[in-house]
Amino acid sequence: MSSTSLVRYRGSCPQPRIGLLRADRLALGNSGTEKSHIALALGLAACQKGHAVGFTTAAGLVHQLMEAKTERALQKLQRQIQALKLLIVDELGYVPLSPTGAELLFETFSQRYERGSIIVTSNLPFDEWTSVFGNERLTGALLDRLTHHVHILEFNGESYRLNSSKAKRRQGKPAARTEAVDPKTGEITVT
């Protein structure tokens, strides 16, 4: 696999009291509302139970799938993904997918349907997923599979990062700095 391969964890500890791997999870909400943190925490809980867990962004997974297809290694990658007890796909909806990428991601999710758990985080409500997949029929079929055995986690509110930055400014702490690089001289300007 390339350097952008799935992050995998394994471990062991007493079993948490949640049916973590019995249903899929969809974490939906605004940017900065801790969806990724919750998904990672659930992944860590599964790892602590000794399960194989994979974490990747949607764009990263599509890139891996397309690269594997080009290199005639798609089936090998698909087997590796299917061997995971839990697959976490972060940031679905941040980047629109090409038609081929959308089809490969659909195929990956379909292969996991009722065989392995999946957690998907997205900043988009379901009615906007067609803009990511570019095909209404494909989007409908995907949502049909993803929402069959699912716990939907809705994250409402403002961005944690934005609130943290506002709080720092109210306390008189310096706000985030921005840096610009002059392309001609290479000089860095900090504001």
In terms of residue numbers, what domain contains 70?
7-157
Whether residue 17 lies inside any domain: the answer is yes
φ and ψ at residue 34, rounded to 5 degrees: 75, 20
What CATH number is given to the structural domain containing 145?
3.40.50.300
Residue 128 CB neighbours (<10 A): 12
Residue type, 112: R
Series of mean pLDDT values for 10-residue runs along the chain (191 residues): 39 44 89 93 93 96 98 97 97 94 97 94 96 96 93 87 77 66 64 64
Whether residue 167 lies inside any domain: the answer is no
Q: Which residues lie closer than 8 Å to 169 by C-beta, 6 or more apart? A: 175
DSSP, res 176: P
pLDDT of amino acid 39: 95
Whether residue 79 lies inside any domain: the answer is yes
Whether residue 73 lies inside any domain: the answer is yes
Whether residue 151 lies inside any domain: the answer is yes
Number of domains in the chain: 1
| pTM beyond 0.85 | no
pLDDT of amino acid 75: 97
Whether residue 187 lies inside any domain: the answer is no
Whether residue 165 lies inside any domain: the answer is no
Whether residue 130 lies inside any domain: the answer is yes
